């Protein structure tokens, strides 16, 4: 093609047509993409600045997803705290029911326990055992051996194996057992004038506890509730993080990690809340008024701890919510800024397209006219 010579008019019209075609292509791309700057060649400064802003927005979008997952983790823990609170309230109600349940033996399995190998009263005195309208007196001395007390009780007419109450020892404790399901009784230390069946430490460091099947059942229910607390705490994790099982959670709010929130986990199973299952049938069990009082205090303390932790997680959740809103707005700001640098004015581009299309048609016509002029010259040599 290099040996073909074009006239000046044709060459000029051809160059104009090529430029118009290029401009038309650029305008059509701007209309289809909505961007006036589609490459560094269009406007290097605007293009690269827009790219940096877009990349920053994309980084924040990824962080926003992480922040959202952190919020879900806190929500899971908060749901767990709500469930644990409910279980603790049930446990408290169970203990309070046990406190209200009668300690007087009302069946052949009812027992009263004196928890010491000897009963150290302030001096010689009597144990008064009331069975219905009858009261039996058992003389005891200071620090008398439990076996001697048992023998003395069983030797009283109306008591013993042929009477209403039988005494025995078990592990150093004195056990009083009603011999009939219709029998109810109470024990009083005459030296201190205290009803042993109703107090935790009627005779110095010795204690007398009445037993009841109701308290035994409530004790089993209480232990079951503690097991449920353990299970619920263990099930309160999200995506491998459990804030109620001692796991911590760190949420980054920027790409460098210089802005973040670390949420400290807690161990809120029964043991972590200061609660333990209750064992035994007499001393230290639900038959023990002192043990029940201790349990009430421990449960109330646990409820307070859970409420405090709920407030802490609520504060953390509020911070995360604020950062979510801030990050969302920042992403929008960055994206808007990036778009403003490269966005195409649709009205302007549409007008340019119409102008360029018209110009292209005119240039094609001019090229055709120039070509016809050349053909007219050639006819002179025909």
Query: What gap in Å lies between CA 259 and CA 272, rounded to an integer?
Result: 31
**Sheet containing strand 194-195, strands side by side:** 134-140, 125-131, 185-189, 194-195
pLDDT given at position 203: 30
pLDDT given at position 213: 76
User: Which among 158, 162, 180, 174 has a CA at the least distance from the CA of 105?
Assistant: 180
**What are the average pLDDT values for consecutive 10-residue runs of the chain, which has 382 residues?**
60 70 68 70 83 89 90 96 97 92 45 41 67 84 79 90 83 72 68 40 39 83 97 96 96 88 96 92 76 94 97 95 92 87 68 70 69 60 54
The dihedral sign for the CA sequence 169, 173, 179, 181:
negative
Q: What is the pTM of this model?
A: 0.62
pLDDT given at position 364: 72
Q: Could you state, in order of their start, the residue ranges of all structural domains in the chain?
A: 58-100+216-333, 111-211
Long-range contacts of 307-315 (CB under 8 A, 24+ apart): 307/85, 309/81, 309/266, 309/268, 310/78, 310/81, 310/82, 310/85, 313/74, 313/77, 313/78, 313/81, 313/243, 313/263, 314/78
pLDDT given at position 31: 65
Domain 58-100+216-333 CATH superfamily: f41 fragment of flagellin, N-terminal domain (1.20.1330.10)
pLDDT given at position 197: 37
pLDDT given at position 284: 76
Query: What gap in Å lies between CA 48 and CA 39, rounded to an integer?
Result: 9
């Amino acid at each position: 093609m290099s040996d073909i010579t074009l006239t000046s008019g044709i060459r000029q019209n051809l160059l104009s047509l090529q430029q118009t075609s290029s401009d038309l292509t650029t305008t059509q791309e701007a209309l289809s993409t909505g961007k006036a700057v589609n490459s560094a060649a269009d406007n290097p400064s605007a293009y690269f600045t827009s790219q940096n802003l877009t990349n920053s927005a994309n980084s924040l979008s990824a962080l926003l997803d992480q922040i959202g997952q952190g919020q879900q983790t806190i929500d899971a823990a908060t749901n767990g705290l709500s469930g644990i609170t409910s279980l603790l309230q049930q446990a408290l109600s169970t203990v309070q029911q046990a406190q209200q349940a009668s300690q007087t033996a009302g069946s052949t399995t009812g027992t009263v326990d004196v928890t010491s190998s000897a009963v150290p009263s302030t001096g010689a005195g009597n144990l008064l055992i009331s069975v219905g309208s009858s009261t039996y007196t058992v003389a005891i001395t200071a620090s008398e051996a439990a076996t001697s007390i048992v023998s003395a009780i069983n030797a009283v007419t109306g008591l013993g194996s042929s009477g209403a109450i039988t005494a025995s020892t078990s592990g150093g404790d004195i056990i009083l057992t009603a011999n009939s399901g219709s029998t109810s009784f109470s024990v009083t230390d005459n030296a201190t004038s205290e009803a042993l069946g109703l107090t935790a430490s009627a005779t110095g460091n010795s204690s007398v506890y009445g037993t009841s099947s109701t308290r035994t059942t409530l004790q089993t229910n209480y232990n079951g509730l503690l097991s449920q607390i353990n299970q619920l705490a263990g099930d309160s994790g999200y995506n491998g993080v459990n804030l109620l099982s001692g796991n911590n959670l760190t949420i980054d709010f920027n790409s460098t990690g210089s802005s973040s929130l670390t949420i400290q986990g807690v161990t809120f199973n029964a043991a972590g809340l200061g609660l333990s299952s209750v064992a035994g049938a007499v001393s230290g069990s639900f038959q023990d008024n002192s043990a029940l009082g201790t349990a009430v205090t421990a449960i109330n303390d646990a409820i307070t701890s859970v409420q405090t932790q709920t407030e802490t997680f609520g504060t953390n959740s509020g911070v995360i919510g604020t950062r979510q809103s801030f990050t969302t707005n920042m992403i929008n700001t960055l994206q808007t800024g990036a778009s403003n640098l490269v966005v195409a004015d649709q009205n302007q581009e549409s007008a340019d397209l119409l102008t360029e299309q018209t110009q292209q048609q005119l240039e094609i016509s001019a090229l055709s006219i120039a070509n016809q002029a050349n053909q007219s010259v050639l006819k002179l040599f025909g």
